[in-house]
Structures are given as structure tokens and as C-alpha cells.
């Protein structure tokens, strides 16, 4: 009975682990090495440190390395959870597991596959051992001693009276031995522990909470600190326009229209959110000479006006006199014919139930923390809105692990 209970619990834990593994579909099946002007596909494990690999648009970066040719935008959501792509150019470090979005890049490998970011993450997931809770360990030891003892006493209860007492009925003592066995049977006690943990892990899994083992489930009663990720956990992970601030005699409608038209041909999440906000048909005949400036923004001619839309670096690159702002979210600065005409703030939306959850949680624990790969302004703004005690921002996955261990 106890073994059956453990089988059920093991099934629940394995189901949970496979759920985690499916979320971590970040390993690249191959790497393309450049040798003697030829491109050869090999497994990531075969690539040596110092080799040059090429990553095409839409491919996952198979190993950690440094960009030696080309520039592009990388989707880092699988590692950092952040929806805004990161721009890279020659000399920048690139982590395995991210997806190349814009252009072909050549990377010099700096770490073997065994030490790569993606390999370490997969290893952490696959080897998250199912550990027993303290009460389960006690019950296991208890059952090993108690069960054979009870069975032995039942056998003695059957045999000894038959030997030392005269004229005894075998079936009477067999009945008494069986009665003793049933009364003292620990099955209900022993099976309740693994089945209780199975029910807990299974129910949590059905609610989207992944528990790695019985000992972690038992520890929940002693929690005094809770650490949250931000994007997709407390926020929706989708971007929307939260503020439009025009200036220099330009209306809000004109500012949005110029920006959306300039960004029309871009698949960047920011461009997509702008087009969704505009929600009108775009007259593409008015748009000409569109140029995407990697890591900065876009340049385009809209209705014969030169429009620049992007970050602060874009404004500085074209010597546009602008006013830098510090707001929650990503700021898109816009210029028309060399004159600054305003900015648009795009931010990730907080989930409707996040504030309720944090409010209910705060009285139950001593401290809450927020760990995020997002900017300081965005991270701290979310923490303040939700009532989270402390926010740590600009963190990569490995930094989040280090910070978690420090906490």
C-alpha cells in the first residue's frame, strides 16, 4: 500500500518536472560552423571554443559567445522573461538560448556547450530531484520497523497459544491473529503521507504551480520571504501604449500617426503595440525610405516629412535637441524634420489579480522581493504599485539565481 502511494506521488512529481521541461524548450538542435568559407552543421556539443558560428534570422543561438560580424535584435524572453528584444553589435556578448530576429550574425564561441547558459539551465531543470519531506522520511523508517514487528506478533499469537495451551482450536487463534493484524495495521497511517503529498502536488500543478517534491510542499508552512519574477508573472508580458506626450505644436493624434507610419514595417513588439493602439488602416503610399537603425529605432519619410522614432541614442545620433524623461516602461522619442515633437511611453500591463495576491500575501510573510531583467524605473514602479518590499532590476537569469541565494 505504501509503495502504491509512493508511485502516485512519483507520478505527480514527474508530471510536474515534464511541465517545467516543456517550458524550457531553449536548446538548439544544431550549430552552423564557418570553416574555410564553408558552412557546416554540427551538434552544439561538437563546437570548440574559438570556433566561428553563424546564426540566421529565426534561429536559436546554440552556444555562448561574442559577436564578431553583423548586428541584430535578439529575443531574450526564454532567458530573461523580458518581451523587449535586445540589440547586439560587434563586440557584444551573446548567451545561448536566445533567438535571432533581424539579421545574420557571426559569433566567436567563448564557452563549450557543457558550460553554456542553456546547458546549465536544462541541467538545473532535469536534475531537480524529488526529495522526501521529513514526515515522509519518518514514516518510511517507522513502517520498516513497525510493519514486520506487527506481522511477527500476529504469527506468534497464532502459534504460541497452540503450543503452550491444551485443546486449542486453530481457527479461533487464526481469527484472533487476523483481528490483531487488522487492528494494529499501519496502512491508513503509512499510505496517508505519500497520498496526501500526491494530492497537494497534483492540485498545485492543476493550478499552474510547479512543486518539485514533497519536502518543498511541506516547507510552504514555514515560508517567511517570497521572491517574484516580473514579466509574465506579475505582469501580462504584453506591451501597450500608456502615455502620449506631444510638444512643439503637434497634436497627440499627429504624434501617434507619424510614429505608427514610421514603425509600420517593423515587427518589433513596440511597433506592434503602437499599431494596435492606432487601430486604423495605414496608407502605405505615404511611407518612403524606411530604414531600421539597429538598437536605436527607425528613420522614414512620412508624407514627405523626415520622421525619427526610437530611443535616446537615436535622438543623439541625429543631433536632435530633446528632453530626456524617466518614466515607467519604454520611451519612444519622436522627431519631425529635425525637430523634437514628443514621446510615447509603452509599458507592460500589470495583471488584474496581482495586487490582490500581494495584499493577501504580505500579512503572511516577513518580506517580498521582485527580481527582473527590466530597467530600474520599470521594475521599481511595478514593485511600488503592488506593494512589494524591494526590487532588484537589470538581472540576467544567473544574476537572479545569485540574488535569490543571497536573499
| Residues assigned a catalytic role | 229
- What the block records as the C-alpha cell of 12 is 505527480
β-pairing verdict for 235-246 and 225-229: unpaired
For residue 336, the cross-strand partners are 307, 339
The single-letter DSSP state of residue 180 is H
| Largest separation between any pair of C-alpha atoms in the chain | 118
How many distinct helices (H) and strands (E) make up the chain? 13, 18
> CB within 8 A of 70, min separation 6: which ones?
90, 103, 104, 105, 106
Cα–Cα nearest to 64, from 27, 100, 95, 32: 95
Q: Can you list the positions of beta strands (E) in 190-296?
A: 225-229, 235-246, 287-293
- HSE on the CB side for 360, CA within 13 Å? 5
Q: What is the β-pairing status of strands 367-371 and 390-392?
A: parallel
Query: 345 forms bridges with which residues in the sheet?
Result: 243, 331
Residue 21, C-beta contacts closer than 8 angstroms, at least 6 positions apart? 125, 126
CA separation for the pair 378, 383 (Å, rounded): 9
Beta strands in 230-338 (DSSP E): 235-246, 287-293, 297-302, 305-310, 330-336
Q: What are the grid coordinates assigned to 264, written together? A: 509600420
Amino acid at each position: 500500500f505504501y509503495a502504491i502511494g509512493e508511485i502516485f506521488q512519483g507520478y505527480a512529481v514527474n508530471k510536474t518536472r515534464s511541465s517545467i521541461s516543456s517550458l524550457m524548450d531553449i536548446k538548439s538542435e544544431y550549430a552552423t560552423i564557418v570553416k574555410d568559407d564553408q558552412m557546416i552543421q554540427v551538434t552544439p556539443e561538437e563546437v570548440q571554443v574559438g570556433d566561428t558560428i553563424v546564426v540566421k534570422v529565426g534561429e536559436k543561438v546554440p552556444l555562448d559567445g561574442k559577436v564578431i560580424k553583423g548586428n541584430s535584435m535578439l529575443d531574450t524572453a526564454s532567458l530573461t522573461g523580458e518581451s523587449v528584444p535586445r540589440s547586439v553589435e560587434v563586440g557584444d556578448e551573446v548567451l545561448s538560448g536566445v533567438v535571432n530576429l533581424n539579421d545574420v550574425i557571426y559569433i566567436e564561441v567563448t564557452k563549450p556547450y557543457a558550460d553554456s547558459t542553456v546547458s546549465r539551465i536544462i541541467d538545473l531543470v532535469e536534475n531537480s530531484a524529488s526529495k522526501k519531506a521529513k514526515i515522509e522520511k519518518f514514516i518510511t523508517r517507522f513502517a520498516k520497523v513497525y510493519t514486520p514487528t506487527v506481522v511477527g506478533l500476529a504469527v506468534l499469537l497464532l502459534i504460541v497459544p497452540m503450543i503452550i495451551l491444551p485443546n486449542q482450536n486453530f481457527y479461533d487463534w487464526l481469527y484472533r491473529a487476523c483481528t490483531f493484524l487488522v487492528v494494529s495495521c499501519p496502512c491508513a497511517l503509512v499510505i496517508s503521507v505519500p497520498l496526501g503529498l500526491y494530492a497537494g502536488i497534483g492540485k498545485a500543478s492543476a493550478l499552474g504551480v510547479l512543486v518539485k517534491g514533497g519536502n518543498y510542499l511541506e516547507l510552504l508552512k514555514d515560508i517567511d520571504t517570497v521572491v517574484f519574477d516580473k514579466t509574465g508573472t506579475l505582469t501580462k508580458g504584453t506591451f501597450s501604449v500608456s502615455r502620449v506626450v506631444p510638444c512643439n505644436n503637434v497634436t497627440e493624434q499627429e504624434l501617434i500617426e507619424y510614429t505608427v507610419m514610421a514603425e509600420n514595417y517593423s515587427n518589433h513588439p513596440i511597433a506592434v503595440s503602437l499599431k494596435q493602439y492606432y487601430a486604423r488602416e495605414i496608407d502605405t503610399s505615404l511611407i518612403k525610405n524606411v530604414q531600421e537603425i539597429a538598437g536605436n529605432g527607425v528613420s522614414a519619410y512620412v508624407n514627405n516629412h523626415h520622421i525619427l522614432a526610437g530611443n535616446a541614442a537615436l535622438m543623439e545620433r541625429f543631433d536632435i535637441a530633446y528632453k530626456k524623461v524617466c518614466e515607467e516602461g519604454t520611451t519612444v522619442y519622436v522627431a519631425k524634420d529635425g525637430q523634437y515633437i514628443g514621446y510615447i511611453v509603452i509599458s507592460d500591463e500589470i495583471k488584474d489579480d496581482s495586487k490582490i495576491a500581494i495584499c493577501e500575501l504580505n500579512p503572511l510573510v516577513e518580506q517580498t522581493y521582485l527580481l527582473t531583467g527590466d530597467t530600474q524605473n520599470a521594475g521599481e514602479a511595478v514593485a511600488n504599485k503592488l506593494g512589494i518590499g524591494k526590487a532588484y532590476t537589470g538581472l540576467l537569469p544567473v544574476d537572479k539565481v545569485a540574488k535569490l541565494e543571497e536573499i
